[in-house]
Amino acid sequence: MPQPELTLFHFPGACSQVALCALEEAKLDYRLEVVDLAGGKQNTPDYLAINPLGKVPYLLIDGVGLGENAAILSYIALLRPEAHLLPSPADPRQWAEGVGGMSFCGGTLHPAVRGIANPFRLTTGEVEGVRERATELASKAFKQANRRIGEKGWWLGDWSIVDVYLHWAFEVATSRGFDATPFPHLAALTERLMERPSFARMMGLKQPA
């Protein structure tokens, strides 16, 4: 069956890198459109006409848009089940663990990481208090993730796209001064994930030419 036509809207270093890695891992053909978040291009009329929320990732599937990392990752996983991005939905319990991992990254970690990286997005006042509280929230969540990776090896036991999502959140936090020392299993993720060609390619594609 021919694959749908796919276009991913992405910005290097943003959470859209997880969707990019999923497309690579699933060996799908896709077009990459860089939205310059640093230059505010997500809020231009042209991009808002495509995605009114002005966010990446955004995936056009045969011209019709899909937002939210968890939805995009689920779609790619189901489109190419042989890539094992997530557990099979034939096992509801395991599938739910995969959804739980994506929700943890998108719903729990991402807002805390945003408070560390971009606290000015969350307040019109002083940013230091926001960063302090966000650091506390991130510490609690990363502690649980670090323990889980230490015990199971990967978030689900076997590699999944959740590990790539977790890596993104940890990398953003630590690149903005969050102390990695108490989380050795998370700190080791980059090197371990680099052994996967899809991840290495995604990291290579991170910087715009």
Kindly list the residues in this chain that would bind ligand GSH in the complex (CB under 6 A). Answer: 14-15, 37, 42, 54-57, 68-69, 106
Minimum distance, C-beta of residue 33 to ligand GSH, in the bound complex (Å): 13
C-beta of 107 vs 184, nearer to ligand GSH? 107
C-beta of 73 vs 189, nearer to ligand GSH? 73
Minimum distance, C-beta of residue 175 to ligand GSH, in the bound complex (Å): 13
Minimum distance, C-beta of residue 5 to ligand GSH, in the bound complex (Å): 21
Strand order in the sheet with 31-34: 31-34, 6-10, 58-61, 64-67
C-beta of 15 vs 79, nearer to ligand GSH? 15
Q: Is residue 187 a contact partner of residue 168, using CB atoms and an 8 Å limit?
A: no
Q: Is residue 9 a contact partner of residue 58, using CB atoms and an 8 Å limit?
A: yes
DSSP 8-state symbol, 61: E
Minimum distance, C-beta of residue 200 to ligand GSH, in the bound complex (Å): 21
C-beta of 85 vs 185, nearer to ligand GSH? 85
Q: What residue type is assigned to position 64 of the chain?
A: V
**Exposed, middle or buried, 119 (CB in 10 Å: 0-12/13-18/19+)?**
buried
